[in-house]
Chain A
Amino acid sequence: MKFPDLKSKTHPNFKGVPGWVWAGRYGIERQLYILQRMTGLGVLLYLLMHLIVTGQKLDQSSWEFVMGQVNQGLLPIGEFLVFAGAVFHALNGIRLALVHFGFLMRQPGRPIYPFTVAALGQRWAVYSVFIATAAIVGYGGYEFFIVAGH
């Protein structure tokens, strides 16, 4: 059997990193995809450093030395940003998993005027992620900056 030549007539997808960083004027969910990746990579980088730092917990003088080092300058602010990023990533991750398995998807309507946008049916989940993130990060900030005085 002879197959027809199915060569693509469009340009190859060579946009690379700029392609996923800026896809065009899409909705907020598309922008959150970038934020999910950036927070994921940030938390991964932190995790690897965190493992090396907390590995010093076996000896009191090493622990106190390393805790002194990570409490200098802007590092506590950076640590708090990682906390905020991780909270957002986890909560947005719950939303994404629900979307992946179809739980938040709405039935698309027929394209009859006035048009409806099925994606807007799950927008409440985006707002819930923002509100829950603000609440947890807000409380964490109170403990971090006010109670512990960083």
Chain B
Amino acid sequence: MRESTLWLMHLGAGAVMLVVLGIHFGVMHTGGLIGIDRTEVLTFASVEARSGQLFYVVVYLTLLVVALYHGLYGLRSILFELSAIGSTLRRTINLLLVLAGWGFFFYGAWAILAGYLG
């Protein structure tokens, strides 16, 4: 894929995150504004109740994909900007980041879906 497309996807992921990370932070950190009790939000009952709702499954799966892509692509940009990095090292970094991305994706998606299916 062209580098400019990957970069546009990085910015696009940021825009999607404004919505889904906004919902996540809205619930977890500023929930008082929408009537959610801050002292309850991390109890097992509350976590389990959210895990069973399709709305949160969609929000968390989306957040998982876009945050992993945006964050790992950002790390790659920073590493590639160091001028001493040659092409073999670049290919190795690409491979490691792609593997890490898929690894964390499968782990996170498993936790989200297993929580939903009970």
Contact = CB atoms under 8 A, between A and B. Distances in A.
B47 interface: yes
A139 B30 contact: yes
B44 A51 contact: no
A141 to B, nearest CB: 9
Main secondary structure of the interface of A (DSSP, over half): helix
B42 interface: yes
Contacts of B44: 57, 60, 63-64
A143 B51 CA distance: 23
Interface residues on A, range: 35 or more
Given A57-B47, A144-B29, A148-B38, A17 B82 contact: yes
B68 interface: yes
B40 to A, nearest CB: 10
Interface string B74-118: 110010011110000000000000000000100110110011000
A51 B47 contact: no
B29 A41 contact: no
Nearest to B21: A90
A43 B39 contact: no
Interface of B: 11, 14-15, 17-18, 21, 25, 29-33, 38-39, 42, 44, 47-48, 51, 64, 67-68, 71-72, 74-75, 78, 81-84, 104, 107-108, 110-111, 114-115
